[in-house]
Each structure stands twice: as C-alpha cells, then as structure tokens.
Amino acid sequence: MAEINFFTESTIFTLKNKTHLRSWLLKCAKSEKQTISELNYIFCSDNYLKKINKQFLNHNYFTDVITFPTSLPGDKAISGDIFISIDRVRDNAKTYGVRVNDELHRVMVHGLLHLCGYGDKTSSQEKTMRGKENYYLGRMQRPFALKKLI
C-alpha cells in the first residue's frame, strides 16, 4: 500500500490539501508506470537543506530540492526521501513570478520524477524534466489523463 508522508524540519510550514496532493502524486507515478511504496517529503529551511547538500553531496550551496532514493534503480515500487527548502521555494516563486503553491508542487513532482529515473544534469535531461513537470502541474486542477508523453 502506498504511503506518502509529510514532515517539517527547522521551519514553520503547514501543507494544505494533503489528500489531494497524495492522490495527484500517486497518479503521476502511475502515469510513469510506477507505484509508490513510501515517499517522505521533508519541508525544511534553507540552512537545513544546505547542510544536507554539503554533507551528502559535497555541494556548499542552497538548493530547492534533494531526493534520496531508498528503492533500487529499476524498481517499479519506488520509495525515497525528498527534502524541500520552503525558503528556496518562496524565493524562486518570487523570482519566476509564480504562485508559491505552484512552485512547491513543481519541486514535489521534480523529486518524484527523480525517483522514477529522470535526471536533470544535461540540457536534454533538463528539457525532458521541465516538460514532465509542466505536464503534471497541468493535471493538478484538470482531470488526470493517463497518456504517454512524447
């Protein structure tokens, strides 16, 4: 049975519409021909995520999301921990002129897509990732169509 959990660490943040978000994330995974075993979203501060970035990835800078898979590559039942900096989400929303919730949902599905096997290190990978993010963000309000993406 799929388990999607939401936690906070070193920040004050309340996630709204958890039931809707869980349903959306499950549908996103299903569209990618995956199931979710366990996902843990940890919403945290910039400083908290920077420490994780430095400790585990040897990167000494702020970032919006870091994904740690706990399932093996190729597993159809994915699991992992997705850390999201609420500070970075708010700043990025302002920078890009989007609503905070839209930016939050983008990084949430971004982390899920990493667990589905998508990367973002090359320009081609990044283009694919952005296309998938946009597709799934468009499914937040409209009926979800399970169709293959090009």
User: Would you give per-residue pLDDT tens digits along the chain (150 residues)?
Assistant: 789 999 999 999 999 999 999 999 999 999 999 999 999 999 999 999 999 999 998 899 999 999 999 998 878 899 999 999 999 999 999 999 999 999 999 999 999 999 999 999 999 999 999 999 999 999 886 655 444 443
Rounded Cα distance between 121 and 98, Å, is 24
Tokens of 36: 């979710």
Residue 62: the pLDDT is 92
CB 78 within 8 A of CB 58: no
pTM score:
0.91
Single out the residue of 149, 111, 114, 110 nearest to residue 133, CA to CA: 110
Pairing of strands 65-69, 77-85: antiparallel
CB 24 within 8 A of CB 66: no
Residue 1: the pLDDT is 73
